[in-house]
Amino acid sequence: MPFIRSISGIRATIEDSFSEEIIKNYVLGFISYLPPGPITLGRDGRPSGTYIEKIITDTITSYGRDVYNLGIVPTPTIQLFVEKTDSAGGIAITASHNPAQWNGMKFINNNGVFLDKEENNKFWEIVDNGSFTLPGISNKKNKIQYENGIDKHINSILELPIFTDTDSKEKLIIRNFKVIVDAVNASGSIAVPKLLEKLGCDIIPLYCDGTGIFPHTPEPLPENLTELAKAVKNHNADIGIAVDPDADRLVLIDEKGIPVFEEYTIVLAVEAVLGSRKLFKTNDSSVVINYSTTRAVEDIALKYNAKCYRSAVGEINVVKKMKETKAIIGGEGSGGVILPICHYGRDSLVGIALVLYLMITSNQKLSQIVKSLPHYEMKKYKKQFTGSIETIINALLKEFPNGTPNFEDGIKIEFEKSWLQLRVSNTEPIVRIIAESPAKAETEVLLKRAINCL
């Protein structure tokens, strides 16, 4: 089974590709790479994370570093904690949306963001060459300090101006939205309900036991959320909330039990922020999304006379572009929302707060808000793949000679009101093809023509 190393960290199958030696080598390389200081650690709840956590903490403390152990927490909680404390960096033990037989490690720098391409190259060179710069193993027992990162995370969200400078929190408490939560029994099991409780919601947990044992395929896609959709209808709930195992992605179910396409999480969040941008006390209202995200975000930005920039897929790529453009909000169409005023990381809890704020201030049901947004039809296709995609790219260029190609992330070919993209995944051994247009039939034709080039 594969071992994947990318800008999103490392991921592997536990039984045959994620040995103790590999874990130790990456931890030693990370210690060598980081500046002095404690290292923050958290995990997404998978049972295998307990074993990995022990290897990491023993390795870190043996070589003279303290550990802030946050336990089972969302990855954005780890990022925020690193950013707001004296941490030299952080490690999130997670394989994100990958199935249960996988686990992995995401590496966070002392600014609370993932390592970028240049940082990863330096880090990987240390690991690959075994050029660790470490003190000898210490007889001194360094501290493993257990911290409450979730409260720190939630408090930072409650301090956003949409709550402190308006009466929206009070209105939410009075309204008492009924919410069903599917956290796939992983890291969002405590954090998501706790935030919702602070916002006055009546919470019905569906899969929030924190065991890390997934009740269904963990990627929050409509086909994996049928029980959540049924629960929303059966309980007459206002909204259903689904997060992936490390809770950096958010997907919604409307009050009718209909899944809101994952791309529209960021569309809703951008609408909430740009529609209230005076609260954020900034003249710069640009937005950053990746090349795979729906054009609906561009339409929302245009509506508010804001600029919309794009980056390659990958959270750190979006974050770098956001910092460069001083963007007020950004994210990815997979359900990731990044709000810099809180912290620079994809954050399902931030996304939840923005969507509830939009619902209470618009006095509309979620289905009504979604219906009012720009509409496009997007189709996504993936296939097992390893190797070079250059041959496929050349075939696509021949198939679509009238489009405008962009090669920043695989290939994206744009037309007047539609586009398609082919790229190799950062997190799985697959190739992805995405097509989008205003009409379902047109999108299906685009996708079919692209698939025929494989």
Q: What is the CATH number of the domain that holds 66?
A: 3.40.120.10
Residue 389 tokens read as 């995609």
Please tell me whether residue 165 adopts helix, strand or coil conformation: coil
Tell me what pLDDT residue 17 has: 86
Say how far apart CA 450 and CA 419 lie, in whole Å. Answer: 11
Residues in a beta bridge with 178: 202
> Beta strand 202-207 with 250-253: parallel, antiparallel or unpaired?
unpaired
Domain with 311 in it: 266-338
- Counting beta carbons within 10 angstroms of the beta carbon of residue 357, is it exposed (0 to 12), middle (13 to 18) or buried (19 or more)? buried
Q: Which amino acid is at 119?
A: E
Under 8 Å between Cβ of 113 and 231: no
**Structural domain count, the chain:** 4
pLDDT tens-digit readout, 166-213: 999 999 999 999 999 999 999 999 999 999 999 999 999 999 999 999
pLDDT digits (tens, 9 = 90+) for 66-117: 999 999 999 999 999 999 999 999 999 999 999 999 999 999 999 999 999 9
Query: Are 104 and 9 in a shared domain?
Result: yes
Q: What is the pLDDT of residue 140?
A: 62
Same domain for 217 and 115:
no
Residue 423 lies in a domain: yes
Question: Does some domain include residue 371?
Answer: no
Same domain, 33 and 127: yes
Better pLDDT: 7 or 157: 157
Q: Are residues 440 and 328 in the same domain?
A: no
Query: How far, in Å, CA of 411 to CA of 391, rounded?
Result: 12
Edge-to-edge strand ranges of the sheet holding 336-338: 308-311, 287-290, 329-332, 336-338
Residue 385 lies in a domain: yes
Mean pLDDT value of segment 343-365: 98
List CB contacts of 143: < 8 A, sequence separation 6 or more. Answer: 61, 66, 67
Q: Residue type at 326?
A: K
- Per-residue pLDDT tens over the stretch 25-40: 999 999 999 999 999 9
Residue 377, both tokens: 């039809």
370 inside domain: no
Same domain, 186 and 137: no
Confidence class of residue 16 from pLDDT cuts 50, 70 and 90? confident
What's the whole-number average pLDDT of the chain?
95
Is residue 92 located within the same domain as residue 106? Answer: yes
Query: Average pLDDT, stretch 243-262?
Result: 98
Do 314 and 290 fall within a single domain? yes
CB atoms within 10 A of CB 434: 26
Q: Are residues 228 and 270 in the same domain?
A: no
What pLDDT is stored for residue 137 in this prediction? 64
Establish if 368 belongs to a structural domain. Answer: no
What pLDDT was estimated at residue 139? 61
Question: What does the block give as tokens for 14?
Answer: 């536990």
Are the C-beta atoms of 354 and 162 separated by less than 8 Å? yes
- Of the pLDDT bands very low, low, confident and very high (cuts 50, 70, 90), residue 14 is very high
Share of the chain above pLDDT 90, in %: 90
In a domain, 47, yes or no: yes
Is the pLDDT confidence value at 426 over 90? no
